[in-house]
Each structure stands twice: as structure tokens, then as C-alpha cells.
Amino acid sequence: MTAAQVFSDLSAWQVMAWGLVFFSALYLIGGLGMTALTRFLQKRGIGRVLDTRPLKPDQLRREWRQSFHSILVFGLGMVVPWGFVQLGWAHFAIAPSGWQIAIEIWVLLIWNDVHFWINHRLLHTRWFKRFHGDHHRSVVVTPWSTYSFHPIEAMMLGNVILLPMVLHDFAFWSLASVPVFSIFLNAVGHANYDFFPRVGPRHPLAASRRHHLHHARPAGNYGFALAFMDRLMRSEADPLPPRPAPGRPAA
């Protein structure tokens, strides 16, 4: 029995239970793994911390609390794509080849950035910004900021696979890869660490720098991991002015 058949044969309660376990594991692995990685690199002088200011009081507890709510939304929300399959609105590819899965993952990676830009831009409008404010309370971001959303924002960002599912019969593993690469790229973006200081701001490896700039100056850089949507929509954020040296007043 394939993974797609196993998923289809689960009950709604089983889908939601496994969804909670899945997204909890992703969040813990992403947060702990990225924290360990940045500490390892910093000790060896590789890369640099982007914002050295201390975290706000109770910031981590707030991020964990809000992320718990997002995990509930994501995990319980797994019943929606499962429901699409049960109703016949979506189907999984039968015996997909490795090449098909690889191409589909690439397509979903691009779609993820498009979907994120659209929803993130909406979250910065006057109609939705009250929901996005919870996330932006983390000015100095941490890997634990990745799921630190208002439930409405979590629902907006968490529906990324629904439209692709009804347009094409994706492989089960292609769709399952979306939350996996998403948590990794999201943890990179919220790592508060410049892994590759020498690359330009539009380079794919400068994602953490771009998202750090978005939290420091929210008007711009609405993309996820790639820069193409901000370039296309002319929404790149202006760089921050250099900080004055210690003891020297700003000009």
C-alpha cells in the first residue's frame, strides 16, 4: 500500500492527530536545529549575527504560545486536503516517477513563494494588518518565530497546497514536501543570521538578510525565500542606514 493510499484510508480524526504530530515535530526540529547551527557557525566565525540587540522580555514564551496556536491550525487543517481527496475534488498521481516528483517539488517551491507574497502583501494592508501584528512583535527574530502567527494568518498561509491539488494530480510526496521545505526556509529567514555575507541581496542565499530587513522595516520584502516576486512587483525594501559606532551620535 502506498503512502497516498494510507493517507486516503485514514479517518478524519486520525488525519488531524497525525497532522498535529507532524507539524509539532517540524517546528521543534526547525527551531532546535537552526539554533544549534547558528551557534555552531558563530563560534567558528562563519557568517554573522544580523541584529545583536537583546530579545524583548517574554518574547520566546510569546512565540512558543503563538506557534502552538499555528500548529493547531496547520495540524487540524490537514483534514481539508484529506477532504478534497475524499470528495473526489483532488487525486494523487498513480506511480509517479522520481523525475515527476522532482519537477513537482520545484513547481511547488515557486508556487509557495507566489502564494506567500500574495498573502503576506494582504497582511500588510489595513484590512489584515491587525492579524499580522502578532508576528511583527518579534523585531529581533528567532528560529522560534517561524510559526508565531495569529490564527487568521496561519489559515491564510497554511492553504498553500489546496489550489495546486485541484489543478493537477500531484504525487503524495511532492505535496508532503511543502511543509518540510517551508519550515527549513522559514527557519533560515528567521535565523537572525547572515550565512553568506558576501552574496548580493537578491541572491537566494541572502534570504535571511532580506527577511531580517522586512522585520526591521516592514514596508517591503514580502517574498518568502526567493527574491523574484519582490523584484517583479517592485516591493524590495530599502536597505537600513548604517548604525553609528558605539559612543558616536547618529548624523
Tens of pLDDT along the chain (251 residues) come to 899 999 999 999 999 999 999 999 999 999 999 999 999 999 999 999 999 999 989 999 999 999 999 999 999 999 999 999 999 999 999 999 999 999 999 999 999 999 999 999 999 999 999 999 999 999 999 999 999 999 999 999 999 999 999 999 999 999 999 999 999 999 999 999 999 999 998 898 999 999 999 998 778 899 999 999 999 999 998 776 555 544 554 43
CA distance 189 to 112: 14
Please, how many CA atoms are within 13 Å of residue 160, restricted to the half-sphere of its CB?
A: 29
Helix (H, G, I), strand (E, B) or coil at 193: strand
Counting every residue, how long is the chain?
251
Burial of 1 (0-12, 13-18, 19+ CB in 10 A): exposed
Cβ contact 176:104 at 8 Å: no
pTM over 0.75: yes
Q: What is the DSSP string of 115-137?
A: HHHHHHHHHTSTTTHHHHHHHHT
CB atoms within 10 A of CB 28: 14
Which helix (H) or strand (E) covers residue 49, if one does?
strand 48-49
DSSP state of 58: T
